Amino acid sequence: MRRIVFLDRATIAPRIVLRRPGFAHELIEYQRTEPDEVVDRLTGAEVAILNKVKLTAEMLAQLPALKLIAVAATGTDCVDKTYCQQHGIAVSNIRGYSGMTVPEHAFALILALRRSIVPFRADVLAGEWQKSRQFCFFNHPIGDLGGARLGILGEGFLGQRVADIGRAFGMKPMFAAHKGKTGLGPLYTAWDEVLETADVITIHCPLTPETANMISLPEFRKMKRRPLLINTARGGLVDEAALEVALEEGLISGAGIDVTTPEPPPMDSPLMRIASRSNVIVTPHIAWASDGAQQTLADQLIDNIENFVAGRPTNLVEGAF
């Protein structure tokens, strides 16, 4: 009987069904796991399920029974994959589950900010409509999406879906060339041109050493059209201190942020200092988390485990096995 341990079940909503694998097993679920609890909880386990719990080489060295780390997410930076590759531990991840939920959340932020939905709602609750003594009032700017230039950082599956939605609104998508790179082909618009001409910039690329803080103060100062900045990718892609300065100086017209560094952010962090601004919306890393997307993730997670045990592994992470 194989022992399976889920270290952070609370990272998937309780209403999402996590089916039991179709082979003899013992499944133990922990809602949360602290770093000093990892080794004890995984001792004797052949399969570890985790989302954000870190598995370091030091921890893995104490877990000789471990055969598969099934990550309940796309990103696997929480696992020391070099150690796994050297010691025959497979690592699987989740793919292709968020093609609707992330782009739709990005556009929810874009629409809410472009049309000043949040501050208008606050004004209505505060009685501003009654004070206006007419059928409407104009306390905040309202912008259309049709004809606006949509700068997309990241040309993968999610970036392409965002472009499709943008075209449906009559926007003009531009895929930014990778920062500091040239000659990437006709799909791309030069990096600086995207920064200088976009009305909305939305980020859909992975966090790597090359992309860390890819948007900082020098980039904000190139944004001639004071665009909206949307980040539903990873917190470390945007320099949060620089974002605060950009808002203070009016370099951008607003920001929709779903990801931070760290998560959750400290109450005295730059993100929390700007969160109450009328032109800022901060959501708690939920762009990925529609019920449909979470169920797809949960089903694929168990598929990966069952396929591995059956000898036909799926979604193995390159460089890990």
Catalytic, 285? Answer: yes
Assess contact for 4 and 45: CB atoms under 8 A: yes
Q: What angle do CA 49, 75, 58 make, to 5 degrees?
A: 60
Task: Say which of 105, 234, 240, 244 is annotated catalytic.
Answer: 234
Answer whether 161's CB lies under 8 Å from 103's CB: yes
Tokens of 112: 């809410």
Distance of alpha carbon 269 from alpha carbon 46, whole angstroms: 39
Using a 10 angstrom Cβ sphere, with 0-12 exposed, 13-18 middle and 19 or more buried, the burial of residue 100 is: middle
- Catalytic one of 34, 210, 249, 263: 263
Active-site residue flag, 263? yes
* 26 is annotated as an active-site residue: no
Backbone phi, psi, residue 83, to 5°: -60, -45
Angle (CA) 18 6 299, round 5°: 30
In angstroms, the CA 182 to CA 167 distance is: 26
Active site residues: 234, 263, 285
